[in-house]
């Protein structure tokens, strides 16, 4: 008898010491459950990514868990859950017998309360002492919590996969839907997984066993009268569709941008474990269009032009919200640096994509779409003895600068409208000179371009792509054009909530900043949306830029060495920009211009995206009537044909003509090239034009 008493006492002491470091009821209640941060699209229906410290988990109330899921879990794990004291003696004895006879722990006989205790507070080691501690803690939990509370804790705690913890994470991870939308068949399948999350993985090699266990659960639910015969048969025949095992991330380049923003603002640890709920600006439909356009377009470019990559950004110009972002052809193609985000990180030469802003700067100074400059061979390295005014295209002196047009021909006198719409190089360089490099850079900074800061580095080649820009910033600059000169700061995030539902930040639709007078922006928009004006440039590609009933402006750009091809197109409600090229900066073949490499990608996206919005038209500019004939397009006034520098002072184009045009460093070169063209193409030029003025009463110098 004494021996029995001593044995019981020793067992009691042993149990007491095993329970010393177990959590109290208060500690259980106060336990902070690690939750992953969820990043959603703008509708909050599509989960893009979960940021976690290894465990993806979203805690939800029991009311958001369908009854099917509760019943299926209880049927397979602990069918006497609502009647048991937190443990099952028969199960424990059965497991003890098997474990003793086999010499190691093979069965657990655990109830839901025991499994909760093990998963939440204990280590997963298979030992007798851990089983005893588990039993003690399960009894403690069962005494102080209602059954529904225990079930809710359990369904939010247990693993359903290597990184999926809790039923909400499992439902999103496997079926792409919240747990409250699970069907009976899906709930039964999820309930089959916790017995062996790796073994019963839907992506593993034991799916046959997984579905057999699901069918057993459904049968047992029917036997327990939790479902009727009709529900049982329907669930058995339901075809389950799992999300592709796509590394758990959608719109990866966009999501990484959001993650970096969150970490910078809230800190790494809080983002990984704090259970933030982030609603982004991403439009999942537009993102799908963008990814498809980039993938197919880059594949085509690789075959035709040796251009293996592309990127696309779409923005709502009315708010600055980024609606779609594809940073490369394939984020997961590590060998091709697919994870590099060209859209936000890549510095690329914009080619002619900066031209609209040079013309805009010129319009601000008094020039008009009708103003005429001469598209003729011109040497812009002024007063350099190595670079004579008469252009010699065989002269490869690096200090000389006499660009050619893409078409390799010259058109003589052209107005600003035609020059911009058809992206003619020589007039663009002249327009930049007239507007002033410093003024253009200042304007671009107001438009959101942060990478062009040193005028000495670029010179007049800036307007042909002499600097480098980021696609996302260039799209933002075009968004200012789309909104009549109003700028809205870029944003990727609409709302951030913590795990308790408290709003940490939310997007507010505030008025933007007017960075330029709308009149001058409307002049640019009127040109870039003029289909007939751009037809001379695009030829057979013109149909790719026309959308019936929609007013669409477009500008392309190609760097001189064909490393970068661009297409920037916009409406008052949507801006989309495309870059095409190679991540390693190797050039494409010469045929890989913006028209052939970038426009098809832009069109593929825009043709699907634009129909989601009702048509809107650009506001038209007010008519202007400058006094100077050259500014309104009359370049032969008074029988005189000269460079525009004969008539305007760069510092004050609307003021008096320069007293000494030759004082301008560019005058000799421009004038020489204009007169050479006139003598070559105007019959009897020397006899009919530029004769001495006879009387100021009959003719005023323009």
pLDDT at 36 over 70: yes
In a shared domain, residues 564 and 602: yes
pLDDT at 124 over 60: no
User: Worst-scoring range by mean pLDDT, 116-120, 199-203, 342-346, 435-439?
Assistant: 116-120
> What total of structural domains would you count in the chain?
2
What confidence score (pLDDT) does residue 698 get?
Answer: 38
In a shared domain, residues 474 and 330: yes
Task: Give the three-class secondary structure for 66.
Answer: coil
> Where is the domain boundary, 601, 624, 647?
624
294 part of a folded domain? yes
In a shared domain, residues 479 and 515: yes
In a shared domain, residues 569 and 651: no
555 part of a folded domain? yes
In a shared domain, residues 343 and 284: yes
426 part of a folded domain? no
b/e burial code for range 425-449 (CB count within 10 A of at least 16 → b): bbbbbbbbbbbbbebbbebbeebbb
DSSP state of 237: H
In a shared domain, residues 602 and 682: no
CB atoms closer than 10 angstroms to residue 137: 23
Mean pLDDT value across residues 529-538? 90
149 part of a folded domain? no
Mean pLDDT value across residues 134-148? 72
- Alpha carbon distance 576, 567 (integer Å): 8
Q: What pTM did the predictor assign?
A: 0.80
In a shared domain, residues 666 and 567: no
> Where is the domain boundary, 578, 595, 624?
624
Question: Residue 333: which pLDDT band, with cuts at 50, 70 and 90?
Answer: confident
What confidence score (pLDDT) does residue 91 get?
Answer: 54
168 part of a folded domain? no
pLDDT at 326 over 70: yes
Query: Catalytic one among 36, 201, 352, 604?
Result: 352
352 is catalytic: yes
In a shared domain, residues 618 and 534: yes
Rounded to the nearest integer, the mean pLDDT of the chain is 86
What confidence score (pLDDT) does residue 695 get?
Answer: 44
In a shared domain, residues 498 and 607: yes
In a shared domain, residues 607 and 486: yes
pLDDT at 697 over 60: no
What confidence score (pLDDT) does residue 269 get?
Answer: 75
What confidence score (pLDDT) does residue 123 get?
Answer: 46
572 part of a folded domain? yes
257 is catalytic: no
In a shared domain, residues 544 and 478: yes
Q: Are 475 and 606 in contact (CB under 8 A)?
A: no
- Alpha carbon distance 4, 172 (integer Å): 55
What confidence score (pLDDT) does residue 468 get?
Answer: 94
CB atoms closer than 10 angstroms to residue 102: 10
Domain of residue 650, residue span: 636-688
In a shared domain, residues 481 and 620: yes
- Alpha carbon distance 92, 433 (integer Å): 89
472 part of a folded domain? yes
Q: Domain with 294 in it: what CATH number?
A: 3.40.710.10
**Stronger pLDDT, 83 or 564, i.e. the higher one:** 564
The closest of 320, 337, 237 to 582, measured between CA atoms, is 337
What confidence score (pLDDT) does residue 272 get?
Answer: 81
476 part of a folded domain? yes
> Where is the domain boundary, 624, 652, 677?
624
Query: Catalytic one among 77, 168, 315, 671?
Result: 77
């Amino acid at each position: 008898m004494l021996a029995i008493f001593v044995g019981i006492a020793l067992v009691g002491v042993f149990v007491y010491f095993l329970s010393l470091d177990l959590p109290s009821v208060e500690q259980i209640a106060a336990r902070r459950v690690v939750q992953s941060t969820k990043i959603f699209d703008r509708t909050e229906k599509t989960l893009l990514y979960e940021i976690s410290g290894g465990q993806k988990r979203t805690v939800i109330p029991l009311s958001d868990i369908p009854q099917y899921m509760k019943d299926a879990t209880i049927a397979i794990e602990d069918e006497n859950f609502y009647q048991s004291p937190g443990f099952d003696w028969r199960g424990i004895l059965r497991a003890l017998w098997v474990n003793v006879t086999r010499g190691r722990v093979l069965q657990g006989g655990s109830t839901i309360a025991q499994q909760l205790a093990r998963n939440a507070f204990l280590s997963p080691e298979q030992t007798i002492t851990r089983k005893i501690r588990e039993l003690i803690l399960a009894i403690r939990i069962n005494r102080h919590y209602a059954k529904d509370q225990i079930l809710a804790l359990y369904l939010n705690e247990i693993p359903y996969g290597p990184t999926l913890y809790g039923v909400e994470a499992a439902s999103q991870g496997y079926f792409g839907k919240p747990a409250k939308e699970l069907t009976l068949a899906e709930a039964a399948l999820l309930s089959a997984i916790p017995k062996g999350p790796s073994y019963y993985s839907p992506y593993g090699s034991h799916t046959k066993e997984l579905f057999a266990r699901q069918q057993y659960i459904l049968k047992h639910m029917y036997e327990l009268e939790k479902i009727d015969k009709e529900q049982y048969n329907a669930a058995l025949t339901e075809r389950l569709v799992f999300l592709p095992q796509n590394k758990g991330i959608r719109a990866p380049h966009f999501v990484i941008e959001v993650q970096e923003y969150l970490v910078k603002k809230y800190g790494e640890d809080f983002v990984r474990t704090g259970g933030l709920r982030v609603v982004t600006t991403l439009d999942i439909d537009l993102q799908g269009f963008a990814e498809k356009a980039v993938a197919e377009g880059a594949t085509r470019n690789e075959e035709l032009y040796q251009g293996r990559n592309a990127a696309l950004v779409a923005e709502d110009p009315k708010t600055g919200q980024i609606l779609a972002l594809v940073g490369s052809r394939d984020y997961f193609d590590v060998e091709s640096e697919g994870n590099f985000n060209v859209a936000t990180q890549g510095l690329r030469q914009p080619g002619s994509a900066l031209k609209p802003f040079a013309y805009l700067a010129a319009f601000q100074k008094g020039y008009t779409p009708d103003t005429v400059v001469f598209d003729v061979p011109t040497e812009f390295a002024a007063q350099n003895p190595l670079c004579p005014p008469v252009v010699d295209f065989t002269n490869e002196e690096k200090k000389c600068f006499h660009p050619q047009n893409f078409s390799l021909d010259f058109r003589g006198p052209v107005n600003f409208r035609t020059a911009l719409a058809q992206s003619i190089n020589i007039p663009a360089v002249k327009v930049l000179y007239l507007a002033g490099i410093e003024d253009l850079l200042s304007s671009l900074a107001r438009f959101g371009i942060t990478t062009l800061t040193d005028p000495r580095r670029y010179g007049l080649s800036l307007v042909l792509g002499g600097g480098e820009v980021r696609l996302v910033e260039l799209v933002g600059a075009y968004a200012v054009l789309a909104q009549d000169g109003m700028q809205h700061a870029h944003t990727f995030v609409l709302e951030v909530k913590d795990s308790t539902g408290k709003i940490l930040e939310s997007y507010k639709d505030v008025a933007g900043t007017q960075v330029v007078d709308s009149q001058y922006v409307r002049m640019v928009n009127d040109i870039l949306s003029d289909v007939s004006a751009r037809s001379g440039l695009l030829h057979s590609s013109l149909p790719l830029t026309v959308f019936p009933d929609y007013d669409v402006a477009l500008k392309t750009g190609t760097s001189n060495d064909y490393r970068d091809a661009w297409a920037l197109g916009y409406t008052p409600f949507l801006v989309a920009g495309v870059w095409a090229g190679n991540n390693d900066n190797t050039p494409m073949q010469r045929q890989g211009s913006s028209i052939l490499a970038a426009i098809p990608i832009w069109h593929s996206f825009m043709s699907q995206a634009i129909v989601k919005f009702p048509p809107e038209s650009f506001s038209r500019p007010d008519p202007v009537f400058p006094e100077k004939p050259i500014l309104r397009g009359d370049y032969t006034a008074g029988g005189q044909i000269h460079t525009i520098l004969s008539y305007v002072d760069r510092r004050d184009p609307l003021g008096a003509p320069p007293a000494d045009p030759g004082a301008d460093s560019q005058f000799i070169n421009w004038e020489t090239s204009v007169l050479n063209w006139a003598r070559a193409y105007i019959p009897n030029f020397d006899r009919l034009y530029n004769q001495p003025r006879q009387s100021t009463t009959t003719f005023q110098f323009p």
